[in-house]
Amino acid sequence: MRNIHSSHALGRTILAALTSLAMLTGLAGCADGLAGQQVTGPTVRIGIKFDQPGLSVKDGSTYSGFDVDVAEYVADKLGFSKRQIQWVQAASSQRETLLANGQVDFIVGSYSIDAARKKVVDFAGPYFVAGQDLLVRKSEKSITGPQDLDGRKLCTASGSTSAQVIKNNFSSNVQVMELSGYAECVTALESGTVDAVSTDDIILAALAAAKGDNDLRVVGKPFTKETYGIGVRKGSVELKRKINEALQQMISSGTWKKDLTAATKGTGYTPNPAWNPPATMNAQNSDHDVSHFLKTAKSSTSSASSSASASSSSSQSSSKKGE
C-alpha cells in the first residue's frame, strides 16, 4: 500500500491508506478523484511476468510484448498514463496471493483462466487464446505432435503444468527436465540435451524468433486451449467491467490486431483464427480436456493448415489417433 504514492507528510498517511483501499475496490473512480489532489499522481500496479518472450519481457527498465501492450491499453482506459504504471513481477505461483493481498491492482501475465483460479480471483477477458504446442529442432522430423514424445526428452519451466498435460494425455514415458525459464530450455534444446520444449504457442514462436539463427521450429498443432484473462481481486465487479470494456474497445478499434502483429513480428506466428480475437468477454475456462479439444481443432485447422501440405497428412493421422 505504501507504494501507491511516492512521498507523504506523516499526517497524510491515513488519507493514503484510505485512497489505496479505494483504489483496490474502485480503481478508475479513485483516479478521477485524486488527480487534482496529488502532486505526484496516483499509480496503478500491474502484475506481469518478466521473462515471457512475445508476451512480456523486461529488458533493463523497458517492458515489451503483447501482455504489456494490453496492460498499457487497459491502464490508459482506466485513466493512467504509461508513466503512472508500476510493473510488478508476478510469478505463476504468486499471482493469486498478489491479488488477494492487494499488492497489485490487476495481472496480465499469460494467466490462463480456469475453474480453480476463479474461486479465488476474478477474471476479465479473455483477451487472447493460445494453445500449448511444441518447439523442436528444425532437423527433427520424428516429432509431429505430443504423441511422439514417448522415450524422448522434454523441457518445460518448473512449476508449469505443461509437462503434466503431455504425460497424462499423450506420452506417459516422456523424460522431463524442468528448468527455471524457457530461455534455458531453448539452450538445452539447441545443445541436443532435450528434443522438445513445450508451453503456449505464442511464447514458443517468440523464443524461436529470438534465437535468430532459424534452426528451431514450432510444430504448429496446439493441443490445449489456453484462454488468457486479466486477473483482478475477487469481487472487483466494477474494475472487471471497466477492463472488459477496455478490452472490447481494444479489439474493435483494431489496436488489438496491430499490437499482436507487432509483438509477433518476425516469428511467423498466426494465432488460431477460430479463437482470436475472443468474441465475448465471458471469462471462458481454458480447456485441457484433449479428446473434446481435438474434435474442435480438427474442424478449425483443416482450412488453416491447407498451405502446409507436407505436414497436413501427418496432422490428420495424429488427430484421428487422438480421437
Partner 1 sequence: MDFVGLLTHYDVVGAFWVNIQLTLWSALFSTILGVILVLMRISPVGSLRGFATGFVRFFQNMPLTILMVFLLLGAFVQLRLQFSSDFTTNFYWLAITGLSLYTSTYVCESLRSGINTVPIGQAEAARSLGFGFFQSAFLIILPQALRGAIAPLGNTLIALMKNTTVAAAAAVASETSSLMNTMIEANADQILTIFLIFAIGWVILIIPVGLLTTYLSNHLAVRR
Q: Binding to partner 1 by residue 95, rule CB under 8 A? A: yes
Q: Among 5-13, 30-38, 178-186, 258-266, which window interacts with partner 1 (CB under 8 A)?
A: 178-186
* Closer residue to partner 1, CB minimum distance, 220 or 229: 229
What is the footprint of partner 1 within residues 121-160 (CB under 8 A)?
121, 153, 158-160
Cell of 45: 500496479
Please tell me the distance from the alpha carbon of residue 28 to that of residue 166, in angstroms, as a whole number.
42
- Give the one residue of 3, 81, 93, 172 binding partner 1; rule: CB under 8 A: 93
Q: Kindly provide the b/e burial profile for residues 174-200, where b requires at least 16 CB atoms within 10 angstroms of the residue's own CB.
A: bebbebeebeebbebbeeeebbbbbbb
Torsion sign across C-alpha atoms 166, 221, 159, 213: positive
* Closer residue to partner 1, CB minimum distance, 167 or 257: 167
CA distances, 42 to each of 8, 10, 29, 158, 198 (Å):
12, 18, 12, 36, 40
* Closer residue to partner 1, CB minimum distance, 92 or 311: 92
- Give the one residue of 10, 36, 119, 299 binding partner 1; rule: CB under 8 A: 119
* Closer residue to partner 1, CB minimum distance, 17 or 91: 91
- Give the one residue of 15, 120, 210, 274 binding partner 1; rule: CB under 8 A: 120
Number of residues that bind partner 1 (CB under 8 A): 29
What is the footprint of partner 1 within residues 184-203 (CB under 8 A)?
184, 187-188, 191, 193
Q: Among 49-57, 82-90, 93-101, 202-210, which window interacts with partner 1 (CB under 8 A)?
A: 93-101
Supply the minimum distance, in Å, between the C-beta of residue 116 and partner 1.
5
Spatial contact of 127 and 70, defined as CB atoms under 8 Å apart: yes
- Give the one residue of 1, 177, 251, 283 binding partner 1; rule: CB under 8 A: 177
Q: What are phi and psi of 60, to 5 degrees?
A: 65, -120
From start to end of the chain, where are the E strands?
44-48, 51-52, 56-59, 62-64, 85-89, 106-107, 121-130, 132-137, 153-157, 175-179, 196-200, 216-218, 226-233
Name the residue type at position 200. D
Supply the minimum distance, in Å, between the C-beta of residue 8 and partner 1.
32
Interface with partner 1 by CB under 8 A: which residues?
92-93, 95-97, 114, 116-117, 119-121, 153, 158-161, 163-164, 175-180, 184, 187-188, 191, 193
